[in-house]
Amino acid sequence: MNVNEAASESASIGIDIGGTKALGVALTRDGRILAEEKRPTPKNGVGIIECAFALFESLAGKVGNDINIEGLGVGIAGLVDNKGQLRRAPNLVDADGLELGRSLEPLVGVPVYVDNDANCAARAEIATGAARNVEQALLVTLGTGIGGALISEGTVVRGADGMAGEPGHMMVNPAGPTCACGMRGCWESYASGTGLTNLATQSASEGRLTAIAEQLEGKTEEITGEQVTSAARQGDEEAILVIDTYSWWIAVGLANCAGLLDPEIIILGGGLIEEWDLFGPRVRTAFDKLLIGADQRGTVRIEPAAAGESAGAIGAAMLAAARTTN
């Protein structure tokens, strides 16, 4: 760990803890990434704290003794209140109420600041990405679950309790599958990484995705989203149909959000954006058909986050830098 006040340059470390992976960056005040690292997200609260500490130590070690680490920002997938307390995390195991800041500060020796992962990603996009110089925007992260952040006049809108901008648990089908949150038919049951797996598993159980099922020797419960996207890229028509359906469900939620919020732009982040060339045109087409008044309003741009899947970690580092300055 390097907390060296005599160092020639300062940086902050940002960590984005999602349902599947934790990604960390060391970021200078002028926005340069000095180091980056990714690890699987542990399956319990204690493991999440240990993982965050290990990422901090590793990143601080990578930047060397010439860099002073000022603070640690943590973005986490879940409901985080105005005090930086994680209240609910449906896609993390044993994490509800996890006191990240209080647990990590004695370990890392610098101030720790916690926020929702999508809010952190929004900070990065406001500063240097797709939300720069935009008055009204919505950021949606597509990962294991779905997160979101509202942006108005260059600021993240937090709401009364700090938990605004959570579209993933918007109900889109009351008779749909049970979500990780315990409710039925949430948008993220259809349009997240978990949703893609759900749609693929259902398709295979109905006798489709035969090529993938053969590769798995009939163990269709083991189908992954990566297998579906790979097969679709190779021209598998049954996989392409799953991608079409999945893209339509993404568009359903985005159109609902746009009808309520009327943003200039919808920015999509999270791990699934690595496949945006596959999903993007399909989402655009379906969105234009689903959005009420699409012909009467200006075109709502839909773009991937400029920082890609690192947006949450970069924004978390920016959060720490801003707080340590103030």
Confidence of residue 313 (pLDDT cuts 50, 70, 90): very high
Tell me whether residue 110 is in a domain.
Answer: yes
Q: Which domain holds residue 242?
A: 133-305
Q: Residues 86-101: what's their mean pLDDT?
A: 92
Q: In the 8-state DSSP scheme, what is residue 92? A: S
pLDDT at 2 over 60: no
Tokens 């089908």 sit on residue: 173
pLDDT at 33 over 70: yes
Tell me whether residue 76 is in a domain.
Answer: yes
- What is the rounded distance in angstroms from the CA atom of residue 163 to the CA atom of residue 159? 6
Q: Tell me the HSE value of 324 on the side-chain side, using a 13 A CA sphere.
A: 21
pLDDT at 254 over 60: yes
Confidence of residue 218 (pLDDT cuts 50, 70, 90): confident
Residues 91 and 197 in one domain: no
Q: What are the CB-based long-range contacts (under 8 Å, 24+) for 229-233?
A: 229/275, 229/278, 232/278, 233/278
Q: Residues 200-217: what's their mean pLDDT?
A: 91
Of 58-72, 212-226, 243-257, the one with minimum mean pLDDT is 212-226
Residues 187 and 262 in one domain: yes
Give residue 54's identity as a one-letter amino acid code.
A
Confidence of residue 3 (pLDDT cuts 50, 70, 90): low
Residues 228 and 318 in one domain: no
Q: What are the CB-based long-range contacts (under 8 Å, 24+) for 188-192?
A: 188/145, 188/146, 190/246, 190/249, 190/252, 190/253, 191/142, 191/146, 191/246, 191/249, 191/250, 191/252, 191/253, 192/142, 192/143, 192/144, 192/145, 192/146, 192/168, 192/272
Q: Residues 25-39: what's their mean pLDDT?
A: 95
Whether the CB-CB separation of 178 and 262 falls below 8 Å is answered with no
Tell me whether residue 143 is in a domain.
Answer: yes
pTM of structure: 0.90
Tell me whether residue 3 is in a domain.
Answer: no
DSSP H or E stretch at residue 15: strand 9-17
Joined tokens for residue 96:
């509800």
Residues 282 and 191 in one domain: yes
Residues 30 and 177 in one domain: no
The pLDDT value given to residue 220: 81
Residues 196 and 289 in one domain: yes
Tell me whether residue 4 is in a domain.
Answer: no
Q: What is the pLDDT of residues 129-172, one digit of tens each?
A: 999 999 999 999 999 999 999 999 999 999 999 999 999 999 99
pLDDT at 326 over 70: no
Tell me whether residue 249 is in a domain.
Answer: yes
- Residue whose C-alpha is closest to residue 146's, from 18, 36, 265, 258: 18
pLDDT at 255 over 60: yes
Q: In the 8-state DSSP scheme, what is residue 164? A: -
Count of domains forming the chain: 2
Residues 241 and 157 in one domain: yes
Q: What is the pLDDT of residues 256-277, one digit of tens each?
A: 999 999 999 999 998 888 899 9
Residues 248 and 280 in one domain: yes
Strands (E), 234-305: 265-269, 301-304
Residues 171 and 199 in one domain: yes
Residues 278 and 190 in one domain: yes
Residues 150 and 164 in one domain: yes
The pLDDT value given to residue 271: 84
Maximum distance among all Cα pairs of the chain, rounded to whole angstroms: 65
The pLDDT value given to residue 184: 95
Residues 146 and 118 in one domain: no
pLDDT at 6 over 90: no
- Cα 152 to its chain centre, rounded Å, is 19
Joined tokens for residue 53:
């500490």
- Percent pLDDT > 70 in the chain is 97
CATH number at residue 198: 3.30.420.40
